[in-house]
Amino acid sequence: MITIQNLTKVFRTEEVETAALSGISLEIKKGDFLTIMGPSGCGKSTLLNIIGLLDSASGGSYKLLDQEMIGLKEKGRANVRKENIGFIFQNFNLIDELSVYDNIELPLIYNNVKAAERKQKVEAIAEKLHISHRLKHFPQQLSGGQQQRVAVARALVNDPKIILADEPTGNLDSKNGNEVMELLTDLHAKGATILMVTHSDYDASFSQRTIHMKDGVVFSEKFNQRNVDVFMDVK
């Protein structure tokens, strides 16, 4: 689904140049659940933002569904993004002025989905994530855990090809955090492709594979024991 080769990113301001990514190579297959870990500032969010087409790389190659993304202008990126990417953020990034319903509906509006189909899709995903009774509320009236469920609903409503989650449990207590992890694990079991940044070894243990980054490069990669066991059982 995703092939990244020697990806680089340099942030330039008038005074400084920061090499945020210094040659990342990575393969993500359909149905993978991959976590990225590493110290603050090592480039995790930068990598996720580039994969999610919220930002552009400085060099290298990034193929999404066999199509080269490097060199696409913002408009082209936005088109690929709205059809293929579901993004979940640490701070939920819900729009406070919009109801839960309207927040979840946004990606469908961006994709020119017709009104009747929008309603049906919003209601279906809300039911799946147990937030149907909250559709008329506003984000600030919800608990953190519920807000993140709304954010997950918004990320999923358009059936994205890949779900990107940047520290999705980072602002949640362990109970709500575990609920979000259960949700992601469940989605993965049903076939979703997920790439998640986390600081938590526990959260990472739900994924199949963990990549450790340091100073803008990948320095180790391991398959997670829990999942290796699961695969053994299946065999």
Q: Which residues bind ligand ADP (CB under 6 A)?
A: 11, 18, 20, 38, 40-46
What are the two backbone dihedrals, phi and then psi, of residue 147, each rounded to the nearest 5 degrees?
-60, -40
Angle subtended at Cα 63 by Cα 59 and Cα 66, rounded to the nearest 5 degrees: 150
Q: Is 45 near Mg ion (CB under 5 A)?
A: yes
Please list the residues that pair with 10 across neighbouring strands.
19
Binding partner of residue 107 among Mg ion, ligand ADP, none, CB cut-off 5 to 8 Å per kind: none
Report the alpha-carbon distance of residue 148 to residue 206 in Å, rounded: 18
Report the alpha-carbon distance of residue 74 to residue 80 in Å, rounded: 10
- Rank residues 37 and 125 by Cβ distance to Mg ion and give the closer one: 37
Q: Which window, 10-18, 25-33, 39-47, 225-233, contacts Mg ion (CB under 5 A)?
A: 39-47
- Rank residues 43 and 177 by Cβ distance to ligand ADP and give the closer one: 43
Smallest gap from Cβ 67 to Mg ion, in A, equals: 26
- Rank residues 39 and 71 by Cβ distance to Mg ion and give the closer one: 39
Return the amino acid letter for 100: V
User: Parallel, antiparallel, or unpaired for β 209-214 and 217-223?
Assistant: antiparallel
Binding partner of residue 141 among Mg ion, ligand ADP, none, CB cut-off 5 to 8 Å per kind: none
Smallest gap from Cβ 202 to Mg ion, in A, equals: 18
- Rank residues 46 and 193 by Cβ distance to Mg ion and give the closer one: 46
C-alpha dihedral sign at 143, 35, 69, 118: negative
- On the 0-12 / 13-18 / 19+ scale of CB atoms within 10 A, 96 is exposed
What are the two backbone dihedrals, phi and then psi, of residue 24, each rounded to the nearest 5 degrees?
-105, 130
- Rank residues 18 and 120 by Cβ distance to ligand ADP and give the closer one: 18
Interface residues toward Mg ion, by CB under 5 A: 44-45
